[in-house]
Amino acid sequence: MYTRRTFLTSTALAAATTFIVGCSRSSNDADGGGTAAAAASSTSARAIGKRRVGRSDISISPLVLGGNVFGWTADRERSFEILDRFVEAGFETIDTADVYSGWIPGNRGGESETILGEWMASRRNRDSIVLITKLGGEMDGHKGLSAANVQRAAEASLKRLQTDYIDIYFSHFPDDDTPHEETLAAYQKLIDAGKVRIIGASNFDANQVRAALDASAANGLPRYEILQPRYNLYDRDGFDGPLRDLALAEELGVITYSSLASGFLTGKYRSEADLDQSPRGRGVARYLDERGMRILSALDEVAARHGAEPADVALAWVIVREGVTAPIASARNVEQLDTLVRAPTLASALTAEDIQLLDQASAA
């Protein structure tokens, strides 16, 4: 259980946390991996500092590891390797959901949480991890944000994760059939019981977030402190505009998913022939248009200037966007991860010219 004493301790720590600061990047950072890459990234992660999540006492590094691949494109052993390397690099925040990875034949959901729980138990590092999970998708014949399902889903996730508290618990999808007041009251019980620290809203539009915040204020219930929209150089309209304006006005944290557009922004998919390179490839087809190619060209140009990879640049662009706390990014192996963890350092090295080029290329 997350006790009041722990909350007070973490509040003091959060007060001492710094926001992102300037950090130079050497050309040697592009060498691709291994222990040296992890050590360099760890130094960079500590130098960059953390960002506060909304008005809460939680602060996170400006890169979140996506757990959607655990039990899908990364088996248990590979997932453990990725998780080990991520924390070795100086990062701490991991995102999953109860439904991951139920879309795979033979899976039922909960695979990602189970792997993550086993890893934390084996490493005995739960208290050093900022753990994010979600509920609301269809799981074991249940879905939505009713009070009963919030309670059921939370207990099931806690069991799979082998923990007694969740740091950030997201409503994965809006539920038009359940009043916000009912959902927030259910979260209040979990918070009072020490099972959840703060709550967030994923895939909500600005009107839905506004309604939830109003319900919270009117009824003295916990508010959503953080949002999780789809956002990347190609998919910008889900956050740029009213949702970002609301997040800024209400001091909400924002962690973005699909930050690499299902892998398209890594540059590995440039034609239909490339789509069979991974199980995720078919989800990239919609990006293979003129605008997508224009974005890849800009990524290539900026990457060449900094001795970086396109994926580094794409994540760095998200990191420096106004209103964003951190992007979520996943990796199928440690080689991919060793590239991704360099993005926060690169973010502080991007020039105004770099950002202008990327903005123009990605303009609809």
Q: Per-residue pLDDT tens for 290-333?
A: 999 999 999 999 999 999 999 999 999 999 999 999 999 999 99
pLDDT at 252: 98
| 21: helix, strand or coil | coil
**Distance from chain centroid for Cα 336:** 16
Ranges of residues in the chain whose predicted pLDDT is under 50: 3-37, 40, 43-44, 47
**Distance from chain centroid for Cα 161:** 18
Between the CA of residue 363 and those of 228, 359, 360, what are the distances in Å? 22, 6, 5
Q: Per-residue pLDDT tens for 88-145?
A: 999 999 999 999 988 888 888 999 999 999 999 999 999 999 999 999 999 989 999 9
pTM of the full predicted structure? 0.88
How is the chain split into domains, by residue range? 4-362
- Of the candidate CATH numbers 3.20.20.100, 3.30.70.580, 3.40.50.2300, 3.30.460.80, the domain formed by 4-362 belongs to 3.20.20.100
**Distance from chain centroid for Cα 23:** 22
pLDDT at 280: 66
Whole-number Å distance between alpha carbons of 209 and 224: 8
Question: Who contacts 18 (Cβ-Cβ below 8 Å, separation ≥6)?
Answer: 49, 50
2: annotated active-site residue: no
pLDDT at 34: 46
> Looking at 2, 100, 169, 224, which residue is catalytic?
100
DSSP 213-228: HHHHHHHT---EEEEE
pLDDT at 47: 44
pLDDT at 5: 32
Question: Who contacts 140 (Cβ-Cβ below 8 Å, separation ≥6)?
Answer: 108, 109, 156
Look at residues 134, 120, 206 and name the one whose alpha carbon lies nearest to residue 168: 134
3-state secondary structure 288-321: CCHHHHHHHHHHHHHHHHHCCCHHHHHHHHHHCC
Please name the residue that has the structure tokens 């946390």. Answer: 17
pLDDT at 45: 56
